[in-house]
Copies of this chain bind each other. A is one copy, B any other.
Amino acid sequence: MECGLSPIVGFRFSLYPMADDFVSVIKGALEQTDTSNVWMHTDDVSTVIRGKQVHVFNVAKAIALHAANTGKHIALSGTFSAGCPGDSAGDAYLEKSEKIANTDDTKHYVSSQFALYPLNNPSYMDIIYREVDRAKEQGVFNESMHYASGIHGDIHDVFAFYEEAFSNARSEEHKHLVMTVSMSINSPSHGGL
């Protein structure tokens, strides 16, 4: 487990198309996404993207959008991380401008669940409750559940909530933050809004 004190943000995720042609859905989503603003590596289980927070969230959303645009039931599950002691490869990407590279504004209903884990922080539960309250205020809260919270709505609202939650839960004193997110799109199980 390699970590660091760089301000770099990372997202290790897997895209799961529930379809026989899963390979083409995954490859298509990656190819249609402009990933020039992030360091990226794919192995046999997951893909990791790293760089400025704005680009990591932009690329993650673009990949989900392109996969969702196929109309297939897809899921995206992964972990956002920052401030892990030891992180350095990819720091060159912190020089990129803030201008996002992907601007597809197609709407998709997303049902998702997330958990925040501020590491080595005695007041971590307060941080979690604060962000759950914010989800309720913003209208993206779905339901309470064991070990996670349900967040749903349009994909753009959902990703905006997650990016803000990730910003809010980091602090100068407690830099190491982890946020797990699991989202489902085009599922026959979705009740909708």
B18 in contact with A184 (CB, 8 Å): no
With A45-B183, A117-B117 known as contacts, the answer to whether A147 contacts B1 (CB < 8 A) is: yes
Is A14 an interface residue, CB under 8 A from the partner?
A: yes
Task: Name the distance in Å between A85's Cβ and chain B's nearest Cβ.
Answer: 6
A50 to chain B: closest residue by CB: B146
**Cβ contact within 8 Å between A1 and B128:** yes
Shortest beta-carbon distance from A139 to chain B in Å: 18
Nearest CB in chain B to that of A72: its residue: B20
> Which residue of the partner chain, among B111, B188, B191, contacts A23 with CB atoms under 8 Å?
B188
**Proximity bits, A19-56, B CB within 8 Å = 1, else 0:** 11011000000000000000001011110101000000
Contact assessment for A12 and B46 in the assembled complex, using a CB-CB cutoff below 8 Å:
no
A106-124 at interface with B (beta carbon < 8 Å):
111-113, 115, 117, 119-122, 124
Residues A113 and B45 in contact in the complex (CB < 8 Å), given A16-B16, A81-B147: yes
Chain B positions within 8 Å of A18 at CB level: 16-20, 22
> Are B132 and A1 in contact (CB-based, < 8 A)?
yes
Do the beta carbons of B191 and A79 come within 8 Å of each other?
Answer: no
A132 and chain B: residue at smallest CB distance: B1
Residues of B within 8 Å of A17, CB to CB, are 18
